[in-house]
Chains A and B, each alone.
Chain A
Amino acid sequence: MATASISLIREQTERVRPPRALWVPFPLGRPLGIPGDTNFQLDVLRATLGMLSTATEPVIEDYPIEAPDAGPEVWACPLTIEVESDESLAGRLLQEVARLRPWATETRRRRGRTLFGLSGAGPDQVDDVATMLASVAESGNVTDQLTTDIKWAHPMPFLLRHLAEDLRSFYHEAIASQPGDIPPNHDALNKWIFGETVLGEVLLTIGEHLTIAGKTDPKVGIVRNLMIPEGL
């Protein structure tokens, strides 16, 4: 059968030379350009599929329209999420989660869905996930399976990566309901989480534990790279 493809990394597509590729100048994670913009997405699809009737040899075409960037790079969280500084790490993380919950709930209500649950936790078990992550940060034990009523979908230490992703999804949901504000882009979201939140402090602490444990078991060390984005 015939293929038509979208390309995000032009250098890779130039190397592979697939039959028909449309290079798009959009961020990684958004190959159709703009979430929620049906007409924009249709235009990208028409440009891609249109190559099926025009190309006669392997070709890369460039999509001419830049998508508006996914929010401002410099972004300040409009929420006040300061927590009591004399609390334990777990206590502070749970306070932060509680402050974000109404906004995340609003986003879930609007969307009718959530990406939370990758770890095996149910959509409402956000506190359980936060408690587990904080307990690992405090204990430094990144290899023993976490005991709880939840049936985890992954073994340790990979479970840590999915617990982290679940909480990140929850934080993104909270931000997505902020009134009158353009949501931050990928880099700004990471800067906020890792620079200004208790969650970031917890994840970076676990990252340090993973780095240390990775010196004797490289597989454990890999999990840090799957949990904390490049450059942090």
Chain B
Amino acid sequence: MVRLSDLHPNEAEHLRARADAMPELKCEQWLTPRPLAESTVALVSTCGMHRRDDPPFTLGAVDYRMIPRGVDWADIIISHLSTNFDRSGLADDPNVAMPLDRLEDLAANDEIGAVSKWHYTFMGGHPQPQMFEEAGQEVGRHLASDGVDVALLVPI
């Protein structure tokens, strides 16, 4: 489990300091989405996953990579630089952090309307999350252009 008290004291202090430095989002306009069964859903993750021939994430990266719907998991690699999260689960089943197959399950069961053609990954853990604003807005425009109704945000 992730409770700060369960982590190494240095790591817990690091994550607590990160929390203190994070700005409040200040949700200015509350959006009531259409019914989930009619919504197209995209996944946006900070797990640092990408296709094998994509450029890897580098120190301080605030850019993103695109993962197509139906990607072959054998083509996936993780260049996130942190050593402080478990990768053995991801190696066994990528859906434990990037649940693309589960979104397909929900779509097949008519619980969501559709799975987006594209999904997006960043490398989380940056000390200044505000630095992601430009790339985040760009991803938002791409998602809107693709008719995505819901962005599912997943950390690592």
Residues of B whose CB lies within 8 Å of any CB of A are 1-4, 8, 10-11, 14-16, 18-20, 22-27, 30-33, 35-36, 39, 41, 52, 56, 58-59, 73-74, 76-79, 81-93, 95-97, 99, 101-103, 105-106, 111-112, 140, 143-144, 148-156
Looking at the complex, which one of B27, B89, B152 makes contact with A29 (CB distance below 8 Å)? B89
Q: Are A17 and B97 in contact (CB under 8 A)?
A: no
A154 within 8 A of B: yes
Q: Are B1 and A66 in contact (CB under 8 A)?
A: yes
Residues of A whose CB lies within 8 Å of any CB of B are 1-12, 14-19, 25-36, 38, 41-42, 45-46, 48-50, 52-53, 56-58, 66-67, 69-70, 111-115, 117-118, 153-154, 158, 161-162, 168-169, 172-173, 175-176, 183, 185-186, 189, 222, 225-231
Which of B22, B56, B88, B92 counts the most chain A CB atoms within 10 A?
Answer: B88
Return chain A residues, CB-CB under 8 Å to B140: 1
Q: Are A28 and B84 in contact (CB under 8 A)?
A: yes
Q: Are B83 and A173 in contact (CB under 8 A)?
A: no
A and B contact pairs by CB, cutoff 8 A, 30 listed: A2-B150, A3-B152, A6-B153, A6-B155, A7-B155, A8-B156, A12-B15, A12-B18, A12-B22, A15-B22, A16-B22, A17-B25, A26-B1, A27-B85, A29-B89, A29-B90, A29-B156, A32-B96, A38-B101, A49-B36, A56-B30, A58-B25, A112-B74, A118-B77, A154-B58, A168-B87, A176-B91, A226-B82, A230-B11, A231-B11
Return chain B residues, CB-CB under 8 Å to A32: 95-97, 99, 102, 154
CB of B87 to closest CB in A, whole Å: 6
CB of B47 to closest CB in A, whole Å: 8
Which of B77, B97, B148 counts the most chain A CB atoms within 10 A?
Answer: B77
Known contacts A15-B22, A41-B96, A173-B91; A1 and B143 CB within 8 A of each other: yes
Looking at the complex, which one of B1, B77, B96 makes contact with A31 (CB distance below 8 Å)? B96
Q: For the complex of A and B, list the 4 residue pairs with the smallest distance between their C-beta atoms, beginning with the closest.
A: A29-B86, A29-B85, A35-B93, A5-B153
Known contacts A1-B143, A35-B89, A48-B152; A222 and B15 CB within 8 A of each other: no
